[in-house]
Amino acid sequence: MSFGPFLLLALMEGLVTAAVLALAASGLSLVFGVMRVVNVAHGEFYMLGAVIAWFVTTLVPGPAWAGFLVALAVAPVAVGALAAAADRLVLRRLDYDPEATIVATIGLLYMIQQAALSFYGPDARPVAAPFDWRLQLPWFGYSGYKLFVVLAAAVVLLALWLFMTRSKVGLVMRATQVDRDVAQAFGIDVDLVYMAVFGIGAALAAVAAVLIVPIQQAHYLMGHDPLLLSFIVVIIGGLGSLRGTVVAALVIGLSDGVISMFFSPTLAKILATLLVALVLVFRPQGLFGVRDR
């Protein structure tokens, strides 16, 4: 295969990575943007979404697409509910203190991880793709499911953007993001907003995991890479900026696809981390972040 088709394949793979990354990172970015909480357990919510998807697809009888659709509905709700409970029981009691919440979410990370190890086990387990269609190009065949992942992620991100910019709840969240005290002075129940935001952020990670699990398999340690890459994406894009998150996910995902294919995945990670360092030095607020709010 000549260079052109190789590059096309690399870009398509990168696009899948970017789509899933954008979803997972948008959850992390939303939580930090509104609550100023650095959620170190975000990767474990991702892992939990994949594990729940495995359980659901195993339990639901019938064709693979039926189980997948149930998983796509159940996993984000379950993970979102768990995150909301964690907010209510842990983060609120810490009054969302930035340092204390980092330590608390590290604790949450290990609790979720070890719970998954206990109840799910150490094995990586596959989840069947909901359909088995291939796009046949002149140079190579490509998984139709991977294209579906890109499309589905784009739809969810569009829905998130509409929710944040067009709905009353989104408006309330944006106001709370700007000034918590003044939001309360206009009757906004900030505790409720925070609980919802933490739940939605985790649910977005779970959606990303359900989409990717037919490609990558579910494993109790699978949350590490998405957490690292999500942090890279939100730092580059600007913490709290949905637009920046999507753009940075595209940059990281596409470059990861190309560099991994032509050089090595390790080099892709090294360059992404280097990019984070450069952003932190020359534009600490990220490409689309705001320095002073």
Partner 1 sequence: MGLEIAGLSAGYGPVTVLRGVDFTARPGEVTCIMGRNGAGKTTLMKAIMGLLPGTGSVRVAGVEVLGLPAHRVPGHGLAWVPQGRRLFGPLTVAENLEIGGLLRGNRPEIRAHVLRLFPRLGERLGQVAATLSGGEQQMLAIARALCLEPKVLLLDEPTEGLQPSMIALIRDAVGQLRAEGVAVVLVEQRVEAVLKMADRVAFMAHGRVAEMVSAADLAPGARQFAEFVGV
Please report, as ranges, the residues that interact with partner 1 according to CB under 8 A. Answer: 168, 171-172, 174-175, 178-179, 181-190, 290, 293
Closer residue to partner 1 in complex, CB, 58/167: 167
Helices (H), the chain: 3-35, 42-59, 64-86, 98-119, 144-166, 168-178, 180-184, 190-216, 224-237, 242-262, 265-282
CB of 79 to partner 1, least distance (A): 27
CA–CA distance, 71 with 65 (Å, rounded to integer): 10
Closer residue to partner 1 in complex, CB, 3/186: 186
CB of 81 to partner 1, least distance (A): 23
CB of 191 to partner 1, least distance (A): 8
- Contact criterion met (CB below 8 Å) for 88 and 195: yes
CB of 187 to partner 1, least distance (A): 4
Closer residue to partner 1 in complex, CB, 191/225: 191
Closer residue to partner 1 in complex, CB, 151/182: 182
Closer residue to partner 1 in complex, CB, 103/182: 182
CB of 193 to partner 1, least distance (A): 10
